[in-house]
Amino acid sequence: MKAPLSWLKDYVDITVSEEELAAKLVGAGFEIEEVIRPSDDYVNIKAVKILSMDKHPNADKLRICQVDAGDKRLQIVTAATNVSVGDVVALALDGAKLPDGTCIKKGELRGVLSEGMFCGGSELKLTGADYPAAGIDGVFIFPEDTVPGTDINDFIGTNDVIFDVSVTANRPDCNSIIGIAREIAAVLGQPMKDTFRLPEISEEGEISSALSVEVKDEELCPRYLAKMLKEVKIAPSDELIKRRLRLMGLRPINNIVDITNYVLFDIGQPMHAFDYKDIAGGKIVVRRAEKGESIVTLDGTENHLGENNLVIANRDIPMAVAGVMGGANSGISDTTDTVVFEFARFKRDNIRKTARTLGLHSDSSARFEKGIDFISQDLALIRTIQLVTRLGAGRFAKGTVDTLKKAITPAVITVKKSKIDEILGIDVETKEIERILKSLQFDVVVNGDDMTITIPAFREDIVGANDIAEEVIRMYGYDNIVGKPLDGKKLMQGGRNPRDRIVQKIKAFLSGIGGLSETFSYSFISPKFIEEFSLAEGDPRTNVIRILNPLSEDVSVMRTTLAPSMFSICASNYARGVKEGAFYEIGKTYFPKSLPMTDTAIEKETLVLATFGEKRDFYSLKGIFEALADRFNVAVDFIPSDEPFLHPYRQAFITIAGKKIGYIGQLHPAVAKTRKFDAELYLAEIDLDAFIDNATDFLPFVAISKFPSIQRDLAFVVDENVYAGEMLKRIKAVGGDYLRQASVFDVYQGIGVLPGKKSIAFNLLFRKDDGTLDGEEVSKTVDDIIAAMSASFGAKLRD
Minimum distance between the CB of residue 513 and other proteins, rounded to whole angstroms?
8
- The rounded distance, in Å, linking the Cα atoms of 371 and 357 is 19
* 518 is a contact residue toward other proteins (CB under 8 A): yes
* 353 is a contact residue toward other proteins (CB under 8 A): yes
Question: In the complex with other proteins, which residue's Cβ is closer, 126 or 420?
Answer: 420
Q: For the chain, what is the largest distance between any 2 Cα atoms, rounded to a whole number of angstroms?
A: 129
Minimum distance between the CB of residue 534 and other proteins, rounded to whole angstroms?
25
The answer to whether the CB of 415 falls within 8 A of the CB of 468 is yes
Minimum distance between the CB of residue 307 and other proteins, rounded to whole angstroms?
16
**Of positions 329, 517, 655, 792, contacts other proteins by CB under 8 A:** 517
Burial label for 74, CB within 10 Å (0-12, 13-18, 19+), is buried
* 359 is a contact residue toward other proteins (CB under 8 A): no
Minimum distance between the CB of residue 482 and other proteins, rounded to whole angstroms?
6
**Of positions 103, 481, 639, 657, contacts other proteins by CB under 8 A:** 481
Minimum distance between the CB of residue 440 and other proteins, rounded to whole angstroms?
13
The residues in 399-458 that bind other proteins, with binding defined as CB under 8 A, are 422-426
Site pattern 598..627 for other proteins (x: CB under 8 A): xxxx-x------------------------
Which spans in 576-714 are helix H? Answer: 618-631, 669-673, 688-693
Minimum distance between the CB of residue 574 and other proteins, rounded to whole angstroms?
10
- The rounded distance, in Å, linking the Cα atoms of 383 and 672 is 71
Question: In the complex with other proteins, which residue's Cβ is closer, 112 or 555?
Answer: 555
For residue 454, the SS3 value is strand
* 489 is a contact residue toward other proteins (CB under 8 A): yes
Task: Give the binding range for other proteins (CB under 8 A) out of 124-132, 320-328, 579-587, 626-634.
Answer: 579-587
* 575 is a contact residue toward other proteins (CB under 8 A): no
Minimum distance between the CB of residue 613 and other proteins, rounded to whole angstroms?
11
In terms of Cα–Cα distance, which of 696, 518, 542, 500 is closest to 607? 518
Alpha-carbon distances of 717 from 110, 566, 733, 793, rounded to whole Å? 101, 40, 20, 10
Question: In the complex with other proteins, which residue's Cβ is closer, 1 or 77?
Answer: 1
Q: Which residues contact 534 (CB under 8 A, 6 or more apart)?
A: 644, 645, 671
The residues in 8-67 that bind other proteins, with binding defined as CB under 8 A, are 26-29
The answer to whether the CB of 49 falls within 8 A of the CB of 71 is no
Question: In the complex with other proteins, which residue's Cβ is closer, 131 or 163?
Answer: 163
**Of positions 493, 699, 750, 771, contacts other proteins by CB under 8 A:** 493
Minimum distance between the CB of residue 367 and other proteins, rounded to whole angstroms?
10
Q: Which residues contact 390 (CB under 8 A, 6 or more apart)?
A: 199, 238
Which amino acid makes up residue 603?
E
Q: 155: number of CA atoms within 13 Å, CB side?
A: 25
Minimum distance between the CB of residue 318 and other proteins, rounded to whole angstroms?
22
Minimum distance between the CB of residue 501 and other proteins, rounded to whole angstroms?
9
Q: Total residues at the site for other proteins (CB under 8 A)?
A: 90
Q: Residues, the chain, total?
A: 799
- The rounded distance, in Å, linking the Cα atoms of 421 and 54 is 80
Backbone φ, ψ for residue 264 (5° rounding): -55, -45
The residues in 168-187 that bind other proteins, with binding defined as CB under 8 A, are 168-172
* 146 is a contact residue toward other proteins (CB under 8 A): no
Question: In the complex with other proteins, which residue's Cβ is closer, 137 or 427?
Answer: 427
Backbone φ, ψ for residue 618 (5° rounding): -55, -45
**Of positions 123, 130, 369, 687, contacts other proteins by CB under 8 A:** 369
Residue 111, by phi and psi: left (phi above 0), alpha (psi -120 to 50) or beta?
Answer: left
* 304 is a contact residue toward other proteins (CB under 8 A): no
Task: Give the binding range for other proteins (CB under 8 A) out of 83-91, 97-105, 350-358, 627-635.
Answer: 350-358
Task: Give the binding range for other proteins (CB under 8 A) out of 151-159, 274-282, 391-399, 469-477.
Answer: 469-477
- The rounded distance, in Å, linking the Cα atoms of 516 and 581 is 8
Question: In the complex with other proteins, which residue's Cβ is closer, 547 or 747?
Answer: 547
Task: Give the binding range for other proteins (CB under 8 A) out of 106-114, 163-171, 376-384, 707-715.
Answer: 163-171
Strands 450-454 and 412-416: antiparallel
The answer to whether the CB of 408 falls within 8 A of the CB of 372 is no
The residues in 228-287 that bind other proteins, with binding defined as CB under 8 A, are none
Task: Give the binding range for other proteins (CB under 8 A) out of 335-343, 593-601, 649-657, 767-775.
Answer: 593-601
Minimum distance between the CB of residue 321 and other proteins, rounded to whole angstroms?
16
Minimum distance between the CB of residue 362 and other proteins, rounded to whole angstroms?
16
Q: 617: number of CA atoms within 13 Å, CB side?
A: 3
- The rounded distance, in Å, linking the Cα atoms of 73 and 614 is 80
Minimum distance between the CB of residue 453 and other proteins, rounded to whole angstroms?
16
Task: Give the binding range for other proteins (CB under 8 A) out of 54-62, 444-452, 489-497, 535-543.
Answer: 489-497
* 492 is a contact residue toward other proteins (CB under 8 A): yes
Alpha-carbon distances of 592 from 120, 546, 606, rounded to whole Å? 64, 10, 16
The answer to whether the CB of 780 falls within 8 A of the CB of 742 is no
**Of positions 50, 360, 469, 739, contacts other proteins by CB under 8 A:** 469
* 665 is a contact residue toward other proteins (CB under 8 A): no
Task: Give the binding range for other proteins (CB under 8 A) out of 187-195, 277-285, 464-472, 725-733.
Answer: 464-472
Ordered strands of the 2-4 beta sheet: 2-4, 162-166, 31-36
* 541 is a contact residue toward other proteins (CB under 8 A): no
Site pattern 724..763 for other proteins (x: CB under 8 A): ----------------------------------------
Minimum distance between the CB of residue 223 and other proteins, rounded to whole angstroms?
20
* 540 is a contact residue toward other proteins (CB under 8 A): no
* 594 is a contact residue toward other proteins (CB under 8 A): no
- The rounded distance, in Å, linking the Cα atoms of 304 and 295 is 7
Which H, E and C letters describe 545-569, residue by residue?
EECCCCCCHHHCEECCCCHHHHHHH
* 195 is a contact residue toward other proteins (CB under 8 A): no
Which H, E and C letters describe 283-348, residue by residue?
EEEEEECCCCCEEEECCCCEEECCCCCEEEECCCCEEEECCCEEECCCCCCCCCCCEEEEEEECCH
Which amino acid makes up residue 203?
E
Question: In the complex with other proteins, which residue's Cβ is closer, 524 or 691?
Answer: 524
In terms of Cα–Cα distance, which of 720, 649, 660, 721 is closest to 685? 660
